[in-house]
Copies of this chain bind each other. A is one copy, B any other.
Amino acid sequence: MATLRDIAARVGVSVTTVSNVLNGRPNAGRDIREQVLRAAKQLGYRPNRAAQAMRTGRTRAIGLVLPDLTNPFFPELAQAVENTARSAGLLVCLIDSQGKVEGEADGFSLLMQHAVDGVIWCPLGPTAPATLSNFSKPVVLVDRPQPRYDVVQSDYAMGGRLLAEYALRMGHTSIGLLSGPLRIESARQRRDGFVNALPDKRRIAWELNVGFDGHLSCDAVGALTRRRSATLVVCGNDLIAISAIRCLAEHGIRVPDDISVTGFDNIRWADLVTPRLTTIAQPIGAIGAKAVELMRERMSGEALVSRRTIFDVALVERDSVRRLVPR
């Protein structure tokens, strides 16, 4: 790998001058500047990040700490984050905690050792790992707000409301809820947004809290739908919805003929499964890009107060909800 010294030697100037030119500082004449640039290109010069990091304390790498890549929301997010970061010259270091708090702590510890410039983080739960207390770099939260941090998320209350209005419009008056884990803020917002937009809370026939990972007990779901009279099951995310449809099929209950189902997230699969899933679309790509943008601002020391960016969501009507009343 070519170094500043190599370039300096070739052009016949000092290392300092080369550094100045390459960093766009003004103190260099026209022709020297050009010679340096040319030599750098010829030699295929790439700054040695380790050396830069040692000198400046910044690495131009960020951490991305996620709970579970197996939930398709996160790969889409990771893809957006990585691509946006890369086009800003930032390297993304991935941690997948697999839903385990120790994993999250380990991950942060590893990221600290490598002195990443910041972390984009979708926290497992409301309590930050102890490791984080002595992590002095910027943190941007995604999807799951916590006090004192920047956060990027979708307007989940709006999503819930959209779903409630739609349910009513389609004539569903008795509703089952397959909510996500309510200790997670974003699950609660979705659920409350829906429930609060209902004119009458008694329309909730039953509610079951399950994990966002979509591992649910088919027996429980089957029993619930059979015993109580819901005509629509509103699920905390698409993964839960798709799993639920599968469970129902095993009990001989067809969607949407026998019961309707809605999802949340509009992951790619929502459009691929049968029946195609009616769900709430959130702009996952935009969320990832925005998170990187906020991170970059923090990294350059611009931001002072914690900011909250909330994206609008939209209803995507497909085939998993049956109309019970004439239009």
Contact = CB atoms under 8 A, between A and B. Distances in A.
Interface of A: 1, 44, 46-51, 53-54, 59, 61, 64, 68-70, 72, 74-76, 78-79, 82-83, 86, 89, 91-96, 98, 103, 106-107, 109-115, 134, 214, 242-243, 245-246, 249, 268-269, 271-274, 276
Given A54-B50, A112-B46, A94 B69 contact: no
A6 B129 CA distance: 25
Contacts of A49: 50, 113-115
Contacts of A245: 274
B268 A246 contact: no
A178 to B, nearest CB: 15
Given A109-B46, A273-B273, A78 B96 contact: yes
Number of this chain's copies in the assembly equals: 2
Contacts of A48: 54, 113, 115
Contacts of A59: 50, 114
A103 to B, nearest CB: 8
- List the 8 closest A-B pairs by CB distance, nearest first: A50-B53, A69-B75, A75-B75, A94-B94, A50-B54, A69-B79, A49-B114, A46-B113
Nearest to A114: B49
Contacts of A44: 134
24 contacts: A1-B112, A44-B134, A46-B113, A47-B113, A48-B113, A50-B50, A50-B115, A51-B54, A59-B114, A64-B94, A70-B75, A70-B76, A72-B72, A75-B78, A79-B96, A86-B95, A86-B103, A86-B106, A91-B114, A93-B94, A243-B272, A245-B274, A246-B274, A273-B274
